[in-house]
Chain A
Amino acid sequence: MSHISPVLWQFLVKWMTNFALYPPEASTIAPQMDALYFFMVLVSLIGLTIVILLIVSFSILYSRKRHPKAVQIEGSTLLEATWTIIPLGLFLIMFVWGALIYFRVFTPPANAMNIYVVGKQWMWKAEHPGGQHEINSLHIPVDQPIQLTLISQDVFHSFSIPAFRVKREAIPGRYTTVWFQATATGTYHLFCTQYCGTNHSAMIGDVVVLSADDYKKWLASSTSGDSLAQNGERLFASLSCAACHNTRPDARGPSLANVYGSKLTLSSGEQITADDAYLREAILNPSQHITQGYAPIMPTYQGQVSEEGVIALVEYIKHLDSDYRIQQTTTTTDLLPESQPTAKPAATKQAAQGKVNP
């Protein structure tokens, strides 16, 4: 092959060895989506072949040389109905098939492990329930459903894992969710696919799928010692939330024990379910979310708590399953000097470890 330029040759070799038409299938949804994708490719190819065959064969059969005089034809209702109904039918099959996959991708199973992801110019920050943080990478266990709760701290970003066929927009000011279950260990691309400014193309990272054992090792080696809920508890204390949200009979704020997932009646009479999005809104924009029977006295925490902080608080409130836990926190507040929010009595830690865990 001496007559081919070495650059070109290397190039071709590189291409042929890495040639792929689609990314690796590394999640449960990937083969399902690929099946639909290849069905659509097939339909497209057939459709394109028909159009090309019609053009080419008519061009040959009815060229002016062979067919000097055109025969005027008005149209044909039957033919036109055929090429209206058949494409419509095929499109409807794709619509239904696609919708089934779409609902699957955006309806997480109840047992999914939740990881929070905050997007910001230009990095992805993942917050694991065990308190592990990582930037521009995401470590997850194989064969376990993982739910991502995404939010952006500034502009729109989009969290895309091509190997999982999953993508979800991270939006400023609201949570979005997506879930997946990895089926093969390995390292896969993580992209930001929504244009987000200067370093958009640098907002990339790795999704590392680990076996159950490796994942445990990773968790142990990456932990900072506190779970996400514990971080939230500390924040809860340092922001003096428990000054009102305590369990005393004369409390100025409602008790937060078991509030997550419960139905609340707001002062406006509106009935809502307290989910992640509601809790976030109630912290940042409390005047719009007053529980019935309470005075609108809660100040906004907009600008005082980062999105990661809100996530920690939400995670803490999610795991508050008894008044006892809040009393523990209340005690913490009394003990804590405001200037040292990280210092923490050992008793609380034990209590937290006992009750609050992924």
Chain B
Amino acid sequence: MSTSTIVSLPDQSTARIPKMNYLTKENGLLSWLLTSDHKRIATLYLISITFFFFIGGALAGLIRLELLTPQSDLMAADTYNKVFTMHGVIMVFFFLVPSVPATLGNFFIPMMIGAKDLALPKINLLSWYLYIVAGFMAIFTMAAGGVDTGWTFTTPLSTHYLNTHVISTGLAIFVAGFSSIFTGLNFIVTIHKMRCPGMTWFRLPLFVWAHYAASILMVLGTPVLAITLVLVVLERTVHIGVFDPALGGDPLLFQHLFWFYSHPAVYIMILPGMGVISEVISTFSRKRVFGYTAVAFSSVAIAVFGFFVWAHHMFIMGISNYAALVFSLLTMLVAVPSAIKIFNWAFTLYKGSITFETPMLYAFGFMGLFTIGGMTGVFLGTTGTDIHLTETYFIVAHFHFVMVGGMLMAFLSGIHFWWPKWTGRMYPEKISQFAAVVTFIGFCFTFFPQFILGTLGMPRRYAAYPPEFQVLNVFSTAGATILGVGYLLPILYLTWSLKYGEIAGDNPWQATGLEWQTQSPPLTENFTELPIMDHEAYDYEWLENKQAKEVASVQ
């Protein structure tokens, strides 16, 4: 065994994928469409969110192409507005929100806590169907002519001034919201009730803690979004006048309600990603996560504080100066737990025994890019600098650093990390390391120039812009091309690996989580016997002793 890798695969000449597993148990389309197995539902989710990611990605490509030149020449302004709106709607509600929780969370939370399935398997399936219905509504909207409100649906623009498909988009997000609520509810119940004997709260993997925190946000935040969208629909159809100043309504109220969900939604998106990073960093440095309790509680702190910062999206909107002051202060407080996590991960490496497989490379990418994304968030949470930077490309760059540089990196890290468990086969290592590096370079090239553009004052959502901003936009578009390649590669080689990948065996990374202590791909019931958690999380000595014992018993 090479010393530069921890991968230990079974002898490829004799190894076989286990005949009985969740994939082979039943066959036929119906066995998938009516399944209640969390692993199959996660697979359905994985396929569907990848589909939406590529629609959203194609739209992003169109945006970058349009911005190659200062004039609006590739598309008319109206078309451009529709394209960026659909890009935002699809990426936020149909990719980022369900990305890690509905796929990796769905698949691995029950396995990590030693359960057979989620607590409410049929609700889990229902949540996928809701997602699909919502997705089709969104695609229908696009096919029927699209919508151009921006993903933020700002009133009164969305309620009184646009003749595009605002209602069907709003209802699509409304339905997708229920999918998210059900997933969150399911996770909370499962984590409370389904833990195996010995699995105390402080033996839970940090991935589970992160999902628990995110689930609370989903369950408490999403209903507010649902109500807000219903109000928008009612305002459009029957003019109830909640947001219309002419009828005594308050147009700013919409933004309060919208951001009351949509700021916590940012943490719904990023927290599960942070959970992935904790697992990956620990496994590839062979060490327990530095300051387990601090990392666990920082997730909860983010979830709690996350609810009290929404008005930092509205500093220039004429809210009272003192309100701005309070929300700015609270925003500073929510920045601290993220900083704690970054340093704890960095110190997990200290005196570890580090290897650099693909998931680890993506995790390093996450740490670097998320640090930039987080720090630039402080620029925007500070009232004084927010005045200049908000509503410009600075904010676009900031949330792409967090959402794409952070969340998407974490998602890809997790997909590569758990791919052998999910499919029973390894992905090809060399090309995927290459893809990780390409993604990182492409990402920096795409979004770094946007910080400078924003500082120079270039407003977001502009189909045409003053010519002096062109050079930086050309850089950004060039970077997006590289980034596109970085995202296309995993699709190709992961599909290839389904047939030709090496047989992974139970625990190719020698990770400590319970999900690795069973066959790959797992049985429908996950474990042959009920696991008993008799050690702490990330206990690599326990793993070594266990493996030594197994070797001894074979001999």
Give A contacts to B, CB under 8 Å.
Answer: 11, 14-15, 18, 20-23, 33, 36-37, 40, 43-44, 47-48, 51-52, 54-55, 58-59, 62-65, 67-76, 79-80, 83-84, 87-88, 91-92, 94-95, 97-103, 105-107, 121, 154-156, 158, 160, 162-163, 165-169, 171-174, 176, 189, 191-202, 204, 285, 302
Contact = CB atoms under 8 A, between A and B. Distances in A.
Contacts of A285: 248
Interface string B374-394: 011011001111111011100
Contacts of A98: 328, 382-386
B457 interface: yes
B197 interface: no
A56 to B, nearest CB: 9
B239 to A, nearest CB: 15
Interface size class of B (residues with CB under 8 A): 35 or more
B388 A165 contact: yes
B335 A91 contact: yes
B115 to A, nearest CB: 28
A18 B467 CA distance: 11
Contacts of B34: none
Nearest to B339: A87
Given A88-B336, A163-B457, 11 more contacts: A47-B371, A102-B383, A154-B156, A154-B161, A156-B154, A160-B457, A165-B388, A173-B246, A197-B161, A200-B81, A200-B462
A92 B382 CA distance: 9
Contact of B462 (A154, A174, A201): A201
B384 A44 contact: no
Interface stretch (B120-128, B348-356, B479-487): B348-356
Contacts of B252: 171
Nearest to A48: B371
B542 to A, nearest CB: 11
Contact of B246 (A20, A67, A302): A302
Given A166-B387, A173-B246, A191-B457, A48 B368 contact: yes
A76 B340 CA distance: 12
Contacts of B3: 64-65, 68
B224 interface: no
A192 B344 CA distance: 42
Nearest to B330: A95
B457 A199 contact: no
B550 interface: no
A103 B383 CA distance: 9
Given A51-B367, A55-B364, A70-B351, A88 B324 contact: no
9 contacts: A64-B6, A72-B288, A76-B291, A102-B328, A107-B321, A171-B318, A197-B81, A198-B78, A201-B77
Contacts of A165: 387-388
B384 A201 contact: no
A266 to B, nearest CB: 17
A87 B340 CA distance: 9
A181 to B, nearest CB: 15
Contact of A75 (B5, B291, B335, B375): B291
Contacts of A163: 457
B349 A14 contact: no
A22 B384 contact: no
Contacts of B333: 88
